[in-house]
Amino acid sequence: MSLSVQLAPKHHSGLLLANPVMTASGTFGYGTEYSHLFDIQQLGAIVCKGTTLEPRDGNLQPRLVETACGLLNSIGLQNIGVDALIREKAPIWASWRVPVIVNIASETIDGYAQLAGKLDGVAGISAIEVNISCPNIKAGGAEFGANPESAAEVTAAVKVATSLPVLVKLTPNTSDIAKVATAVAEAGADAISLINTIKGIAIDITSRRPLLGNITGGLSGPAIKPVALCMVYEVAGAVEVPVIGCGGITTASDAIEFIMAGASAVQVGTASFTNPRAPLDVLEGIEQFMKKGGINNLTDLIGIARG
């Protein structure tokens, strides 16, 4: 049985994953935090927390609110900064079998290019995921992902600055995600991941104030799964490059739905907060599903629901 997937078929070195189960940025730290809980080397890939040029403290507390079947967060890209990541995290990743993908974010196009340049050639880093979809920072982030032109500009700038495979992560907070995906693919993205969180708000009726320090946040978890699945379906129908599905994936059957909709791989996010082993459980469940159904190649399932 083969679960391996190629996420950058047009890239000179490619991005071959042993299986399609990845972690979602911001929900699995730098991977090291989870390594005592299960064998993280078994996963397809690990995507680390969004990384910026300078370290960031993130937004005002409170930054997390639970909702019905979901989670609102307004972390605001708290992270150690790219230089510390290269110094302290990459050497650990270099000894791992599982590929690590660095998620990057910036307030300017030049900032994205600088980040990509710094990460180029660093041992332990297998690819870059360009976050043009963070709803929780004042400038940049989701602004770039909201329209096809700026999304393409960021993608092109990152591609010029690095020889690593480039994944671009899209925001659902746009009027036509397929158009953004098409522009990003034309600008050279090796793969497209989606979705990031959906902008949301919660209000404390006693204090009569928003619950999040940042007022708005991003909704994730099971509540967003049908929306994410629909967007993955639309994007997979619009682009030739591999699509990575994300949004509310909690079980193997969730993941298989995304794969059948056209995703070549999946990312498990919020589910890791309630069950740290969720990515591994999802992987084991996919294996069982394939065994039961006599499916030898995971690639046979990709897009099968599209008819």
Ligand X SMILES: Cc1cc2nc3c(=O)[nH]c(=O)nc-3n(C[C@H](O)[C@H](O)[C@H](O)COP(=O)(O)O)c2cc1C
Stretch that binds ligand X, among 37-45, 204-212, 216-224, 283-291 (CB under 6 A): 216-224
Region 63-82 residues binding ligand X, contact defined as CB under 6 A: 71, 73, 75, 77
Contacts 24+ apart (CB under 8 A), 89-92: 89/30, 89/32, 89/48, 89/124, 90/122, 90/123, 90/124, 90/125, 91/123, 91/124, 92/30, 92/32, 92/124
Tokens for 50, please give them: 């969004």
Q: At residue 66, what are phi and psi to the nearest 5 degrees?
A: -80, 140
Q: Cβ 12 to ligand X, closest distance in Å?
A: 25
Q: Cβ 249 to ligand X, closest distance in Å?
A: 5
Q: Give me the 5-24 binding string for ligand X, x by CB under 6 A, dash otherwise.
A: -------------------x
Q: Cβ 294 to ligand X, closest distance in Å?
A: 29
Q: Give me the 220-259 binding string for ligand X, x by CB under 6 A, dash otherwise.
A: xx--x---------------------xxxx----------
Check if 134 is active-site.
Answer: yes
Cβ–Cβ contacts within 10 Å for residue 106, how many? 29
Q: Cβ 248 to ligand X, closest distance in Å?
A: 4
- The residue sitting closest to ligand X, measured at its beta carbon, is 26
Q: Which of 131, 173, 214, 264 binds ligand X (CB under 6 A)?
A: 131
Burial label for 175, CB within 10 Å (0-12, 13-18, 19+), is exposed
Asked, as a colleague might, if the bond just before 172 is cis with ω within 30 of 0, I would say: no
Contact 143, 105 (CB under 8 A): no
> Which of 16, 18, 20, 7 has its CA nearest to residue 301?
20
Q: Give me the 76-115 binding string for ligand X, x by CB under 6 A, dash otherwise.
A: -x-------------------------x------------
- Sign of the dihedral defined by the CA atoms of residues 40, 268, 169, 240, in that order: positive
Report the catalytic residues: 134
Q: Which residues bind ligand X (CB under 6 A)?
A: 24-27, 49-50, 71, 73, 75, 77, 103, 131, 134, 169, 196-197, 220-221, 224, 246-249, 268-271
